[in-house]
Structure 1
Amino acid sequence: METRSIDDILQEFLPKNELKEVNRILYGDQTNLSYLGSEEQFSYDIEKYRFTAITKNEQVPRITKIAAIQHSVVLPTDRPIQDQKLQIFKKIEHMIEKSSELGANIVCLPECWNMPFGFVTREKMPWCEYAEDCNNGPSTMFIKRLAQKHAIVIISPIIERDNADLLWNTSVVVSECGTVLGTQRKNHIPTNNGESDYYTHGMSGQRVFDTKFGKIGVTICFDRHQPQNWLMYALNGAEIVFNPAATSATDSWWPIEARSAAFDHSYYVVAVNRVGIEKFHLESGAEKIFKPFGSTYISGPNGSRTKSLSTVRDGILYAELDLDLCKQMRETLGLNQSRRLLYYKNKWTEASSNKFLPQIIQKLQ
């Protein structure tokens, strides 16, 4: 049974005026956000938006156009690795080309876009065999070619195998020239779903890539649950933070976290999820089903956000982002001026100590 989106349900049952008010609460003030329409390809949806800032005098807006791609795997999960990658490559090439046609400068793919998300099985084979070199592996070479062809930046989350044969959950950032700008490893690994059996916590910090189209960061899936992680991207100067994910069990949290982070830190957040149904046949003979719920969306620094893509279909979420809105929200709210970093530095140092005593006030006897 296909899960209907909350937008479809609300539109069917709420009167127009009440729907408008509910949308204002769910999606924020729409003064700076315009819906540009939709397209439906034979196999995926396209939704288009525009975020604007207040234009001062004759200031030229700093517009960056982004595309977030959510997609499903193509073949049954037990098909050979090369066949899997080939078919996913074909799908992604078409969707990246369409993103370029729409005008995108930056394209982000979901977590582990080039493979089934086999880590939910807790079995090593064949999922470890999908890992590859982040600079010259087949997926990176494929993305390099498309980035150079279309003169766009592409964020490519893969499983990296390093020179020591260790695995990492890594996003490769490829420039519009087709070169690797750098990588961002997943900083926080969940311990309750099998991922920690494959790779460990990254130590690459919260890198911000100063691209031709703006300063971007990449925080991978589970990292979004850590407030200090979001904060560091703001301190490092990010204007857009992408959150490629493969999530299936947190659909009540998903609409909140990226929006909250965007508002708290005065930058854009692009939450990009996988979609579809992935069935795995385990060595025990049992079947494991992984069903990421899509729902990719974008939130602006003023707390407004787009509606989500489908919970069941592939899609491209395209948006034109005025980066000046980041600065305007910092000036309006002044949250960066009231952070009190030195105060919390001392508190965090204390909390990191084994001798830390929680600051709890008890009733006097």
Structure 2
Amino acid sequence: MILTSRPFPFDADKEFAERTSSGASGVNILCLQEAWMMPFAFCTREKSIGRTIYLESVISMKARITWKEIPGHPVFETAYGKIAVNICYGRHHPMNWLAFGLNGAEIVFNPSATVGELSEPMWPIEQTATLLGSINRVGTETFPNPFTSGDGKPQHADFGHFYGSSHFSAPDASCTPSLSRYKDGLLISDMDLNLCRQLKDKWGFRMTARYELYADLLARYLKPDFEPQVISDPLLHKKSL
């Protein structure tokens, strides 16, 4: 299930009630969007140094919550499938999806808080190579004090419109209808966790992948003396007679 969240201020009791009631709809796995119960804190300046808030996911299994930071690309085995969480900007890096897949993820959730014309065109197509729940914040939050976003634009009081459009997609490029761009919503979908395995077998990905070559390239790329493997047309460097 996917839930989006209306911008602040909101009724916290009502929000929790809506999420708690999702179980009555038969929801087995609940995923919320990034920073769902707080303002978009990256737009605020603290008056004093206080508690540090980390960008990390919290996985609750059998009423127990994992607070410990786990490095790498962990996959969590639950009674309802092996799940992974690729937070927001991580979706732009294909190696993240590959790493979760190699670790055996059956479904990956992408909780996000993203805005603007740069990312929205990519939103419906960027994650269609995996069984995925794409969850985005929705609405516009206005802050009392103007701020800059490091984009060269004048100070402004909002970060932009969080365009929602949360959806589920599958590795066969199929996709559910998206939720609204403008209002809070709830999306419930049955997911076939066998689809990833079936598609890998049908396309022969395990047989045709060249992981040893990818690993060698990445190992060389990390070295300071890395030289790209580029084969140039000899005519490009031939001196004119």
Other-structure match for 1:101: 24
Give the one of 113, 116, 138 matched to 1:275. 138
Q: State the AA in 1 paired with 2:60.
A: V
Question: Counterparts of 1:1-365 in structure 2 under 5 Å?
Answer: 67-75=1-9, 87-88=11-12, 90-121=13-44, 123-125=45-47, 161=52, 167-175=53-61, 177-181=62-66, 204-249=71-116, 250-259=119-128, 261-262=129-130, 268-282=131-145, 287-290=156-159, 291-364=161-234, 365=238
User: Per-residue deviation at 1:351?
Assistant: 0.9
Greater helix proportion = 1
For 1:117 and 1:328, the matched residues in 2 are separated by 39
User: Per-residue deviation at 1:287?
Assistant: 3.9
Greater strand proportion = 1
Name stretches of at least 5 consecutive residues in structure 2 with no aligned partner.
Answer: 148-154
CA RMSD of aligned residues (A): 2.2
Q: How many residues align?
A: 226
Contact 1:281–1:287 under 8 Å retained in 2: no
User: Per-residue deviation at 1:182?
Assistant: 5.6
Partner-residue secondary structure (3-state), 1:217: strand
TM-score, scaled to structure 2: 0.86
Name stretches of at least 5 consecutive residues in structure 1 with no aligned partner.
Answer: 1-66, 76-83, 132-160, 162-166, 185-202, 263-267
Contact 1:301–1:325 under 8 Å retained in 2: yes
For 2:220 and 2:208, the matched residues in 1 are separated by 21
Q: State the AA in 1 paired with 2:137.
A: R
Q: State the AA in 2 paired with 1:178.
A: A
Partner-residue secondary structure (3-state), 1:314: coil
TM-score, scaled to structure 1: 0.58
User: Per-residue deviation at 1:205?
Assistant: 0.8
Contact 1:279–1:287 under 8 Å retained in 2: no
